[in-house]
Chain A
Amino acid sequence: MLNIKHLSSVLFNPISRGTLISKIGLKVDWDEPKSSEQMRLEELTKYHILDKNRSLPFENLTKMISASFNNCLVHISFFDDKYEWVKGSSNKKSYKNLRENSLFNDSFTESEILFERQNIAVNELNEFAENPVATNFPKLHFASLFPIATKNGHQLGAIIIYSESLIVFSKRDLKVLESFLKQVNHLLDLKQRLRQFEASLFELSALEKPLNNNYLVAKTDARGKITFVNENLCRISGYSQNELIGKDHRIFKSGEHESSFFKQMWEKILGQKSWKGRIKNKCKNGGNFWIDTTISPIPNPSGGIQGFLAVSYDVTLEAHLESKTKNLELQESINNLHEIGYRFSCEQQYLEESLRVMLSIEWISKKRQGAIFLVDENSSGEKVLSMKAHMNLSQKIKKSCRIVPLGYCYCGVNAEAQNFQYVDCSENVQTHNDLACQVIASRKHYSIPIVWKSELKGLLVVFVAEEHEKCEIEKHYLTSVANVLATTLAHNELNERLIKSKEEAETANIAKSQFLANMSHELRTPLNAIIGYSELIQEDIEDGDIQLDTIGDDLNKIKHAGEHLLDLINQVLDLSKVEAGKMNVLLESFSIKELLAQIQELVKPLMEKNHNQFILKADSIPEVVHTDFVKLKQILVNLISNSSKFTKDGKITLKVKQKLISDNEFLDISVCDTGVGIPRDKLKTIFEEFNQADETTTREFGGTGLGLSICKKFTSLLGGKIRVESVVGKGTTFHILIPFHEAEEQKKVG
């Protein structure tokens, strides 16, 4: 910038091309000493003013100067090594002039000159024949030159005022000129800044392409309405700019992320901070693209936020690769879990191993913490979740969450609702154990119900790290894990049931074979007698040796055997009816005394056979009972005849009492003998078919071996119970409890 100290009018010798008449010039005080011509040129180049384009600001300025000085010709010229560049002319467009033709070829550097030349255009040497000023304005006699210099002292050019006559510049004129010079300098300055700006713009534009190819840029207003998108974002998302501008930024929302994810993002950027993260976005065609993005708030001058700038990088491929790798890992894990199902027969081991495999997916469960619960019943019959396997849990959780009732706590609530849940834990749920819930609630975890055919089997709990970002594939994976567990558990359960029923069937089959073998044996014995005696009689007839009493005896034996056979067949039929569920119970009211009288009569012959004494004790008994008369009678006769078979010269006591058990009335009956007794190890099987205590006892004592079996079945048909106690050598007692409902009229009488 030119620094003008004072102005003075000085006369000095004429320079080569004219007569210097005075020098009023502008006394300039340079900050630095003048530098060489080369430095001057360098400086000049920096301003980039020497080009062919016209410069309107300079032209306008010359016109203004011209107007200020009587409409004389005014030039603003710059000098490089070859040309005088007339950047502004008050009557003409800019042009350039070879420096050798210039009127001020040498003298423009001589600052502060003002000279007059007699006949500028024409001199003896015809020096200025090529100069348009000299040729176009032959009458010009006066030129004054006001140098344009930079702050560094380099003189770049001058404002030149031509006139036909001498101009004497007043102080005021010089002041005006001074201000014009300032404007020139200002223009130069502007020009230079413009250049710099253009240069940086150019640099920016050079950046734009790589930026556009690699980055996705979007701007929104403070409310999230899109105000700018770059081409790349349009290309990747499939939208046009028009489709995006003015829309809400949620147009890209893919649904992948939780609301909490966006919540923390907004918190950050509204707090005037940048947020960085990986987001899955939705394309126009419904596809997705992943970006690593930095979202920054754009401040407004008042300190608020005028909008947001998102600069993102497309990482779809990376995300795909990552998810592919993850998918493979998860698939392998699922296969592994399937295999474990076949490998472990123990449920506990199976669950522990499954948990271990599942928690080995590091990016899901960094801390490898989790548990498997199965549905169980507590002592009061309520359904609860019972922790069957756990890993890396604190003692506190292990202890307080060992049993979780359904409907309580996150786990119990989710399990009952069969909800897959990712718990961030801010909800209010009724807890079974406040302490435990606080501990768990403060940690992010998944709880996944284990469900088989809409029946809840259990619950899977996986703790994730605080910074964990949940994703679809892990959700999918955990659901699969729960399915594998459900399937395997159900499969194992079914297997167990199958094995059990197979065993039962096998046992039943053995029992049936045994029953058939016994039946065959039991039937053959009386048949042996029947056929044997029949043949004997036939032989008697053939031999003609007929003795009536012998034949009579033999026929009697045949008859007895036949009767025995009939008994046997009837009993077998009874049993099979009970087993087939076809034995009907006929409830009727009858007098118990009458029943006892009938029994007493019936057992008389049995008592006589083995010389036993029959004792009946029936003191406090109801008059009338309501149960199945025939069956009760058969039970009692069977028991007494059983006792009489195994007792000789002894006593058989029938006791009948009334008994009240929790408001229900029972007949308490016992049949007690003083017979051989039953060994302890045989007591368990005494009520099974053909299971007399000893095979040899059949020989010794007879019987079909079905009597007690029928007793037991009939007793339970009547809603009662039978049990036996016995001491070998002392005797046996059978106890029966049979419910009866006392008839109404009897109650009234009572």
Chain B
Amino acid sequence: MTLKIDANQKVVDLLTEYVKLNIKSIPLDRFGNQSYHDFDSQQLPNKNVDKGFFSSTDSFTYFKHYHNSHALIEKCNAILKAKENTNCLVYYPNSFMHWHTNSDNPGIRTYYTYSLGYSLFRYIDNDNIIDDVDSVGWTVRQFAVDIKKPLWHTIWSSGFRFSFGFNT
């Protein structure tokens, strides 16, 4: 099972503009302070964890214009025919989002992410752990969020990583 899909160039252009507009608003007094070993040592939970979470509030922040309040994000919603933008998230270097399923918000989830450092999307496929490494620059993944068939996933990022989620 592959999750990566081709990027919609119009969405990439809009999100690039969005990042350029908002990148200077990112607080620079934080740092993930996690290690890859911490990430790699995670045990898969034996109970559903719907929402993704970080070990510390220093590991992430949201862009200033969160959710659907920004015109550029609204344009992305329209192009992708998304019901909503689920997040405009910033991972700080050396941070990870723990195992979760997003099953509190079912639908087809599309993530546009931007990173220059090493970051990866780890997920479970038929009991196998798959490490799907981000491309340098933009990466797009899409998967179904189905409470009956949850996709467990967790994310590691060694550098800044910007993540934009859309739900259709």
Are A and B interaction partners? no
